[in-house]
Amino acid sequence: MIRLAPIPAGLPATVPFVGPETLERQAGRPFAARLGANENGFGPSPRAVAAMQAAAGEVWKYGDPTSHDLTHALAAHHRVRPENIILGEGIDGLLGLLVRLTVAPGDVVVTSEGAYPTFNFHVAGFGGVLDKVPYRDNAEDPRALLDRARDAGARLVYLANPDNPMGSWHNGAVIEAMLDRLPENALLVLDEAYAEFAPAGAIPAIAADDPRVIRMRTFSKAYGMAGARVGYAIGHPDLIAAFDRVRNHFGMNRVSQIGALAALQDRDWLAHVVARVDAARRRIASIGAESRLTALPSATNFVALDTHRDGAFARRLVDALAAERVFVRMPGVAPLDRCIRVSCGPDPELDILAQALPHALSRL
């Protein structure tokens, strides 16, 4: 009889997301438009692809356990020291390591009800206690987060800016002001996965050595490398160094390291992608408007379309679109779940969405 440790033994057997591949296997056919996972359908830099192709023959080698070249390139890019940077297997992997480092069983972690569920998954997995506050005006509520953190004696406070699943964002000055109100011994976990798509004013001016915050970035979104699993964190050197105590030192893929370095150096391709995402956001809004769905303002590579109904209706719409071979997702908590969330993608996939959405609505 298999015996699990007490914490995992008490957890449900679940995953934060059901992947589109699983849904395709269940349906017995592929999606024609993959617009639900916030992947970058415009793809990675051709220079990154070429670099990874050239490196494929040496995949027999382990990746550099220090990610030296990429770490130093990121430090130069952000004008910080290499000691402020830690690489990991996407933001998801880094969030798990951070929780393992900072949260003891019973420690309180404050987040928003309906925010990124993978973070919650890690907190539960290490015995933390999740305390959630509601969104306010389709956005995470910094004041409510801080008030709850103070009342609960929180160890971590999680905030995504720009936000997933709603696409909303706060001005950088709001984030900076949060640090001045952050309770003693609490750490702000600032998830900036979509930072490259955001207005310049949304990015706070925070010193990398500030011990009150750790910032998470990724190559999965704007750089189009979700499958490569390359994320990084920016923080105080003492906290960054602590990751060496628990991380998988050979967890970074060598080909991914090389590809991410080439992607970081291709600024023209990044600008190209950001422009195409902006155009796709506008088109998704137009497609939604034609079916009387309202696009919420977005600073990400997806758009939340308000159905003006409830979560049950939105779930039926997601299923109806899946029947039309269009993969989208929706927020999981009311009142956010009145929306469906559509990732930006190339025009051919948006053409399919434009045809499928009215058909799906008519079926309802």
> How confident is the model at residue 78, as a pLDDT?
98
Same domain, 219 and 296: no
Query: What is the predicted pLDDT for the residue at 104?
Result: 97
- Same structural domain for residues 309 and 257? no
Q: Are residues 27 and 146 in the same domain?
A: no
Rounded to an integer, the average pLDDT of 55-66 is 97
pLDDT attached to residue 38: 97
In a domain, 164, yes or no: yes
Q: Measure the CA–CA gap between 275 and 197, rounded to whole angstroms.
A: 9
Q: Are 50 and 117 in the same domain? A: yes
If asked whether residues 190 and 252 sit together in one domain, one would say: yes
Instruction: Identify whether 4 is part of a domain.
Output: no
**pLDDT, position 117:** 94
Cα–Cα distance list, 231 to 52, 69, 90 (Å):
17, 14, 4
Q: Is 2 within a domain?
A: no
Q: What's the Cα-to-Cα distance from 311 to each of 186, 293, 302, 335, rounded to whole Å?
A: 34, 14, 19, 7
Residues 260 and 292 in one domain: no
Domain boundary among 265, 295, 327: 265
Q: Does residue 66 share a domain with residue 31?
A: no
Asked if pLDDT for residue 14 goes beyond 90, the answer is no
Q: How many residues does the chain have?
A: 364
pLDDT of residue 1: 77
Q: Is residue 5 part of a domain?
A: no
User: For 95-110, what is each residue's pLDDT tens digit?
Assistant: 999 999 999 999 999 9
| CB 145 within 8 Å of CB 110 | yes
Tell me which residue of 228, 220, 148 sits closest to 191, measured CA to CA: 220
Q: pLDDT per residue over 208-260, tens digit each? A: 999 999 999 999 999 999 999 999 999 999 999 999 999 999 999 999 999 99
Q: Is it the case that residue 170 has pLDDT exceeding 90?
A: yes
Domain match, 238 and 105 both: yes
Q: What is the mean pLDDT of residues 265-279?
A: 98
Do residue 250 and residue 151 come from a single domain? Answer: yes
Give the confidence band of 13 by pLDDT, cuts at 50, 70, 90. confident
Domain membership flag for residue 160: yes
Residue 15: band (very low, low, confident or very high) from pLDDT cuts 50, 70, 90: confident
Domain assignment present for residue 23? The answer is yes
At 293-348, the pLDDT tens digits run 999 999 999 999 999 999 999 999 999 999 999 999 999 999 999 999 999 999 99
CATH code where residue 167 lies: 3.40.640.10
Answer with the one of 265, 296, 317 that is the final residue of a domain: 265
| Residue 348, preceding peptide bond in cis (omega within 30° of 0) | no
Smallest Cα–Cα separation from 264: which of 39, 83, 89, 78? 78
Average pLDDT, the chain: 97
CATH number where 27 lies: 3.90.1150.10
Is residue 90 domain-shared with residue 56, that is, in the same domain? yes
Domain of 123 in residue numbering reads as 46-265
- On whether both 106 and 245 belong to a single domain, the answer is yes
Amino acid 17: pLDDT: 84
Q: Is there a domain that residue 1 lies in?
A: no
| 218 domain residue, yes or no | yes
Residues 6+ apart with CB under 8 A from 296: 138, 166, 167, 168, 303, 304, 305, 306, 339
Residue 287 in this model has a pLDDT that exceeds 90: yes
Q: What is the pLDDT of residue 146?
A: 98
228 and 302 co-located in one domain:
no
Of 358, 362, 357, 364, whose CA–CA distance to 33 is shortest?
A: 357
Q: How many domains does the chain have?
A: 2
The more confidently predicted of residues 203 and 12 is 203
* Domain closes at, from 241, 265, 289: 265
